[in-house]
Chains A and B, each alone.
Chain A
Amino acid sequence: MSDKLKEIISKQEQQQESVVEQLDDVVQLVGFVIGDEEYAVPILSIQEIIKPFPWTRVPQVPKYVLGVFNLRGSVIPLIDLRTKFGLPTKKQNDETRFIVIRDGDDVAGFVIDRLTMAIRIKKENIGPPPDTVNGENTTIDGVGKQADRIITILKVNKLLERDF
């Protein structure tokens, strides 16, 4: 009996340790797919993820700004990341989601093809953006390396910045 107890206690300790470890150098991201690529943004910048619903078109804006929608009384812009990344438009389907991202007072909804998962990734596994993208203007924050794939991490403040 006492052996079992000890086992449980040691297990708990291990868990706690791992939690501490996570806090230190692990970044939590939410991954999603646009076109064939997997992207991610920090989990804390996401206000919510919702299923698509109707929006209102706004005139005189670039094509990737689909319009505005009502999120519980707030009027929020909706941006199509496919169009923004230069991919052909695709019909929205069951997997399409709106990710509502917030940075300070700036909020916007982004249309993505589908969600993948919440990702924990060690900081040491995140590399700088490839040299081919030019310095300040990139929306790419870094490239996360997972065992079997590569994830592009996006800069939240750049996504929410008006560039027209």
Chain B
Amino acid sequence: MDEFQEILQDFLVESFELVEKLDEDLVELETHPDDLELLNGIFRVAHTVKGASSFLNFDTLTHLTHHMEDVLNKARHGELTITPDVMDVILESIDLMKALLEKIRDTSSDDGIDVSACVARLDKISNGDLSGLADAVAAQEAKEENSTVVEEDIEEPEPEEELDYENMDPDDVEAEIERLLAQRQAEDKAKREAKIAAGEEVPSMPPEPSEEEAKKEKKEEKTEAKKAPAPTPAPSKQAKSQKSSSDEAKAAAPAKRAPATVEQTIRVDVKRLDHLMNLIGELVLAKNRLIKINDDVEERYEGEEFLEELNQVVSIVSLVTTDLQIAVMKTRMLPIGKVFNKFPRMIRDLSRELNKKIDLVISGEDTELDKSIVEEIGDPLVHIIRNSCDHGIETPEERLAKGKPETGTIALKAYNEGNQIVIQIDDDGKGLDPEMLKEKSLQKGIITEKEAESMSDREAYTLIFKPGFSTAAAVTSVSGRGVGMDVVKTNIEKLNGIIDIDSEVNVGTSIKLKIPLTLAIIQALLVGVQEEHYAIPLASVLETVRISKDEIYTVEGRSVMRLRDDILSLVHISDIFEVERILDASEHVYVVVLGLGTSKLGLIVDSLVGQEEIVIKSLGDYLKGIEGIAGATIRGDGGVTLIVDVVALMNMAKDVKATALTESNAGESASSEKTKPSDYVIMVVDDSKTDRTIMRKSLEPMGVTIVEANDGQEALNILKSGEYNFDAMLIDIEMPRMDGYTLATEIKKYNRYKNMPLIAVTSRTSKADRMRGVESGMVEYITKPYSADYLASVVQRNVNFKPEFM
């Protein structure tokens, strides 16, 4: 049973490949009906599928392909001309064949699809043009014909071989023929077995016919031999040529008329590639980490000899990792031609249905894309092309009236642009009329009058992607239901892609889809907000700008800014991700301009950290589906950074009111009512234990609570922990790790501590030191040595010590 499944699997894979190619060939055939090469190719597909399906007992499929074969065979022999009407039936039968194959794939059985109507039509065609020839005869013919065709492949080198029989003794010839026959039969058998093992069956060469053939061959050889008896043959050479020819035939048969050069490929389970990709992801993370460590080490051991070596190793590892990543990515790449293939057929059907004349020009079908993207891109393209055919290209009469050629052209193009793939769909139809689009949207209530007025042409084009929008006056079977283009937008956004539309009335429309190469490892822009970092997929970032807060305006409760000629709506990342504003924002902010599909949004962040290659990791089941977060990545320092889901973020931004950038919470942190001296909390920061003790002794009489810190870093950590609500700090200037000035500067960054008095206690007495103290935000400057009373009084003054506690 397993063996059967295996064969079935191979049969399906092969059949789908064949059928895919078939669509293209058939349309080509219609334009060149006399192309025998093409016809033969198509005939063989039907034949191969028929053979294999009969072997696998798929009777319905066999029945259908059998009749297709009849018609095609006649066409091949010139007994039937391929007219568009005939083509319609053939195409219909191919669709049915596809449906059957899909059914087999899903259910392992081909029951439940009715092919009788189509078969009847096929019969009619094959009978109509052919007088009196019965179906069965035609079938017989087809079978025989085919077997000879296949034989021909094998026999190709034969003439050369036959030369060797010249002047052979009749008896020798007889013996030689016997030997050859046996050899040939053995080879046939081996070949058949090999094919079965490979999931292939070519019943066109069942044992009987091939034997018959062989007999025929024998006869021929006999006559030839009699004509010209020959001396010694060259068996070794002969055997070799036999073998190579059969090899060739083996390779050629499944790939129809494949060229002699066989591509060196193996089929690999996608799961294995995915696994490989995951491993590479881990490696990329490790590489990022290594680079970071290398930087740290470089800083610490500057000038040491081993650094050079380490540097070399790190750069080699990072180089190889990048190459490896690209190599593995490439194994997952498929040419986009796989998707493009179905469009010639689609255009053909559509133009017949719509009574228009349309040419499809495809270029760049070799452009490669990640498999997962290739799978996703098909549907959007179908919708766009349908749309172009239905709404874009005019009827031949209209076109002639406009002075355009009767036949419209749709150009489908794919090419690389940096780290992206661009798929461009151009048509030379009537183009999009922005005024008409606005009017339609107004009627349907998609936009308001006010919005319509302020809308640029480019924005108006994007209206076609709004759900519920349709410019077609009537719903046709092709389009007009207003679903299609909406699907395009969602699908492209899902792939982190961008849609660009350009159009000119009566000249045409050009739609560009820009899609990242791969999904698992992406380039990201890392941004900082307060103390957090977020990664934004670089594909969605159009640009970044630094602006001052004055440039942010509020319109109808929403923040906006002027970006060159456009008005860009803004949203603060901390409003979306509920970031607590601990640090005081500076006068300037950065705006990351996000572009998605056709919409834009400015995301306000505190800082730009840089660009990095990141590996997307899922947040797992427990945290999945958090709005605005697409996943997480692990950074060089081992920390986790969340990846922004730009699609969701843009949706969330709609509900966010104007950011309260200027709002300050200073008032809230006002110290709560003091009821006893110990409610006052003072921090003493000094690296000398003696100095701390002196300060403690000076302040203790007041009864206040005293917290000690060894240096600036420790002091900052205590502040951050929020365990105490400090009323003042006494800070020494000279300290290890972080000195007093730096500490003061850091503290002033926090909204909460903006108004906390910082008192410098130091032995530095120069004026310059005092100045620096003031600059960094110190309010008092006490020089050592000092009297205990003086220190106490300064502190009392600064914390508004209540007189009743004294």
Interface bits B615-648 vs A (CB < 8 Å: 1, else 0):
0011111110011110010100011111000000
**Counting CB contacts under 8 A, is B145 at the interface?**
no
Q: How many angstroms from the CA of A56 to the CA of B531 in the assembled complex?
A: 10
The answer to whether A58 touches B623, judged by C-beta atoms less than 8 angstroms apart, is: yes
Residue in A57, A59, A108 with the greatest tally of chain B CB atoms within 10 Å: A59
The answer to whether A56 touches B640, judged by C-beta atoms less than 8 angstroms apart, is: yes
The answer to whether A58 touches B619, judged by C-beta atoms less than 8 angstroms apart, is: yes
Least distance between B643 CB and chain A CB atoms (Å) = 11
Instruction: Tell me which residues across on chain B come within 8 A of A1, comparing CB atoms.
Output: none
The answer to whether A60 touches B640, judged by C-beta atoms less than 8 angstroms apart, is: no
The answer to whether A108 touches B640, judged by C-beta atoms less than 8 angstroms apart, is: no
Instruction: Tell me which residues across on chain B come within 8 A of A68, comparing CB atoms.
Output: 619, 623, 632, 640, 642
**Counting CB contacts under 8 A, is A149 at the interface?**
no
Within 8 A of B (CB), among A105-119: 105-108
Least distance between A98 CB and chain B CB atoms (Å) = 14
**Counting CB contacts under 8 A, is B285 at the interface?**
yes
Q: How many angstroms from the CA of A54 to the CA of B282 in the assembled complex?
A: 20
Instruction: Tell me which residues across on chain A come within 8 A of B617, comparing CB atoms.
Output: 74-75
Q: Knowing A75-B620, A77-B623 are in contact, say whether A57-B532 is a contact too (CB < 8 A).
A: yes
Least distance between A101 CB and chain B CB atoms (Å) = 11
The answer to whether B622 touches A108, judged by C-beta atoms less than 8 angstroms apart, is: yes
Q: Knowing A56-B532, A70-B640 are in contact, say whether A76-B723 is a contact too (CB < 8 A).
A: no
* Cβ-closest chain B residue relative to A67: B640
Instruction: Tell me which residues across on chain B come within 8 A of A55, comparing CB atoms.
Output: 640
Instruction: Tell me which residues across on chain A come within 8 A of B622, comparing CB atoms.
Output: 77, 106, 108, 160, 162
Q: How many angstroms from the CA of A67 to the CA of B639 in the assembled complex?
A: 12
Interface bits A72-95 vs B (CB < 8 Å: 1, else 0):
011111000000000000010000
Q: How many angstroms from the CA of A75 to the CA of B721 in the assembled complex?
A: 25
Instruction: Tell me which residues across on chain B come within 8 A of A77, comparing CB atoms.
Output: 619-620, 622-623
Q: How many angstroms from the CA of A55 to the CA of B632 in the assembled complex?
A: 12
**Counting CB contacts under 8 A, is B577 at the interface?**
yes
Instruction: Tell me which residues across on chain B come within 8 A of A58, comparing CB atoms.
Output: 619, 623, 626, 629, 642
Instruction: Tell me which residues across on chain B come within 8 A of A105, comparing CB atoms.
Output: 621
* Cβ-closest chain A residue relative to B578: A59
Residue in A68, A77, A162 with the greatest tally of chain B CB atoms within 10 Å: A68
Instruction: Tell me which residues across on chain B come within 8 A of A69, comparing CB atoms.
Output: 640
**Counting CB contacts under 8 A, is A99 at the interface?**
no
Interface bits A140-164 vs B (CB < 8 Å: 1, else 0):
0000000000000000000010100
Q: How many angstroms from the CA of A143 to the CA of B675 in the assembled complex?
A: 45
Q: How many angstroms from the CA of A76 to the CA of B622 in the assembled complex?
A: 9
Q: Knowing A56-B640, A68-B640, A162-B621 are in contact, say whether A75-B634 is a contact too (CB < 8 A).
A: yes
Instruction: Tell me which residues across on chain A come within 8 A of B641, comparing CB atoms.
Output: 56
* Cβ-closest chain A residue relative to B618: A75
Q: How many angstroms from the CA of A107 to the CA of B642 in the assembled complex?
A: 18
The answer to whether A75 touches B285, judged by C-beta atoms less than 8 angstroms apart, is: no
Per a CB cutoff under 8 Å, which of A54, A61, A75, A106 touches B626? Answer: A61
Within 8 A of A (CB), among B548-579: 576-579
The answer to whether B623 touches A65, judged by C-beta atoms less than 8 angstroms apart, is: yes
Q: How many angstroms from the CA of A60 to the CA of B641 in the assembled complex?
A: 16
Interface of B is mostly: loop
Q: How many angstroms from the CA of A68 to the CA of B619 in the assembled complex?
A: 8
Per a CB cutoff under 8 Å, which of A91, A160, A162 touches B721? Answer: A91
Least distance between B605 CB and chain A CB atoms (Å) = 15
Q: How many angstroms from the CA of A77 to the CA of B641 in the assembled complex?
A: 13
* Cβ-closest chain A residue relative to B580: A57
Please give the number of chain B residues whose Cβ is less than 8 angstroms from any Cβ of chain A in the complex: 27
Least distance between B326 CB and chain A CB atoms (Å) = 22
Instruction: Tell me which residues across on chain A come within 8 A of B638, comparing CB atoms.
Output: 70
Instruction: Tell me which residues across on chain A come within 8 A of B627, comparing CB atoms.
Output: 60
Q: How many angstroms from the CA of A77 to the CA of B640 in the assembled complex?
A: 11
Per a CB cutoff under 8 Å, which of B626, B632, B723 touches A60? Answer: B626
Please give the number of chain A residues whose Cβ is less than 8 angstroms from any Cβ of chain B in the complex: 25
The answer to whether A91 touches B723, judged by C-beta atoms less than 8 angstroms apart, is: yes
* Cβ-closest chain A residue relative to B574: A59
Least distance between B272 CB and chain A CB atoms (Å) = 20
Q: How many angstroms from the CA of A128 to the CA of B129 in the assembled complex?
A: 86
Q: How many angstroms from the CA of A106 to the CA of B622 in the assembled complex?
A: 8
Interface bits B10-42 vs A (CB < 8 Å: 1, else 0):
000000000000000000000000000000000
Instruction: Tell me which residues across on chain B come within 8 A of A76, comparing CB atoms.
Output: 620
Least distance between A97 CB and chain B CB atoms (Å) = 19
Instruction: Tell me which residues across on chain B come within 8 A of A59, comparing CB atoms.
Output: 576-579, 626, 628-629
Instruction: Tell me which residues across on chain B come within 8 A of A162, comparing CB atoms.
Output: 621-623
* Cβ-closest chain B residue relative to A161: B622
Q: How many angstroms from the CA of A160 to the CA of B618 in the assembled complex?
A: 17
Residue in B282, B578, B640 with the greatest tally of chain A CB atoms within 10 Å: B640
Q: How many angstroms from the CA of A69 to the CA of B628 in the assembled complex?
A: 19
Q: How many angstroms from the CA of A70 to the CA of B617 in the assembled complex?
A: 11
Instruction: Tell me which residues across on chain A come within 8 A of B618, comparing CB atoms.
Output: 75
Instruction: Tell me which residues across on chain A come within 8 A of B623, comparing CB atoms.
Output: 58, 61, 65, 68, 77, 162
The answer to whether B639 touches A73, judged by C-beta atoms less than 8 angstroms apart, is: no
Instruction: Tell me which residues across on chain A come within 8 A of B629, comparing CB atoms.
Output: 58-59
Instruction: Tell me which residues across on chain A come within 8 A of B577, comparing CB atoms.
Output: 59-60
Q: How many angstroms from the CA of A73 to the CA of B621 in the assembled complex?
A: 16
Instruction: Tell me which residues across on chain B come within 8 A of A91, comparing CB atoms.
Output: 721, 723
Per a CB cutoff under 8 Å, which of A54, A56, A74, A108 touches B642? Answer: A56
Instruction: Tell me which residues across on chain A come within 8 A of B621, comparing CB atoms.
Output: 105-106, 162
Q: Knowing A60-B627, A70-B634 are in contact, say whether A75-B723 is a contact too (CB < 8 A).
A: no
Per a CB cutoff under 8 Å, which of A54, A61, A75, A160 touches B632? Answer: A75
Q: How many angstroms from the CA of A53 to the CA of B622 in the assembled complex?
A: 20
Q: How many angstroms from the CA of A55 to the CA of B634 in the assembled complex?
A: 11
Instruction: Tell me which residues across on chain B come within 8 A of A67, comparing CB atoms.
Output: 640
The answer to whether B628 touches A73, judged by C-beta atoms less than 8 angstroms apart, is: no
Q: How many angstroms from the CA of A54 to the CA of B532 in the assembled complex?
A: 12
Interface bits B596-629 vs A (CB < 8 Å: 1, else 0):
0000000000000000000001111111001111
Residue in B577, B619, B620, B723 with the greatest tally of chain A CB atoms within 10 Å: B620
* Cβ-closest chain A residue relative to B285: A73
Q: How many angstroms from the CA of A76 to the CA of B620 in the assembled complex?
A: 7
Interface bits B739-758 vs A (CB < 8 Å: 1, else 0):
00000000000000000000
Instruction: Tell me which residues across on chain A come within 8 A of B642, comparing CB atoms.
Output: 56, 58, 68
Interface bits A39-63 vs B (CB < 8 Å: 1, else 0):
0000000000000001111111100
The answer to whether B634 touches A60, judged by C-beta atoms less than 8 angstroms apart, is: no
Least distance between B699 CB and chain A CB atoms (Å) = 25
Least distance between A82 CB and chain B CB atoms (Å) = 16
The answer to whether B639 touches A54, judged by C-beta atoms less than 8 angstroms apart, is: yes
* Cβ-closest chain B residue relative to A74: B617
Instruction: Tell me which residues across on chain A come within 8 A of B578, comparing CB atoms.
Output: 59-60
Q: Knowing A55-B640, A59-B626, A162-B621 are in contact, say whether A73-B634 is a contact too (CB < 8 A).
A: yes
Q: How many angstroms from the CA of A143 to the CA of B639 in the assembled complex?
A: 38
Within 8 A of B (CB), among A18-57: 54-57
Instruction: Tell me which residues across on chain A come within 8 A of B723, comparing CB atoms.
Output: 91
Q: How many angstroms from the CA of A91 to the CA of B628 in the assembled complex?
A: 30
Q: How many angstroms from the CA of A61 to the CA of B618 in the assembled complex?
A: 16
Q: How many angstroms from the CA of A151 to the CA of B639 in the assembled complex?
A: 35
Least distance between A7 CB and chain B CB atoms (Å) = 54
| 6 tightest Cβ-Cβ pairs between the two chains A and B | A59-B577, A56-B640, A75-B632, A77-B622, A59-B578, A75-B617
> Which residues of A approach B to under 8 Å, CB–CB?
54-61, 65, 67-70, 73-77, 91, 105-108, 160, 162
27 interchain pairs (CB within 8 A)? A54-B639, A55-B640, A56-B532, A56-B639, A58-B623, A59-B576, A59-B577, A61-B626, A65-B623, A67-B640, A68-B619, A68-B623, A68-B632, A68-B642, A69-B640, A75-B617, A75-B619, A75-B620, A75-B632, A75-B634, A77-B619, A77-B622, A106-B620, A106-B622, A108-B622, A160-B622, A162-B621
Known: A75-B618, A75-B634, A77-B622. 16 other contacts (CB 8 A): A56-B641, A58-B626, A58-B629, A59-B577, A59-B626, A60-B626, A60-B627, A61-B626, A91-B721, A91-B723, A105-B621, A106-B622, A108-B622, A160-B622, A162-B621, A162-B622
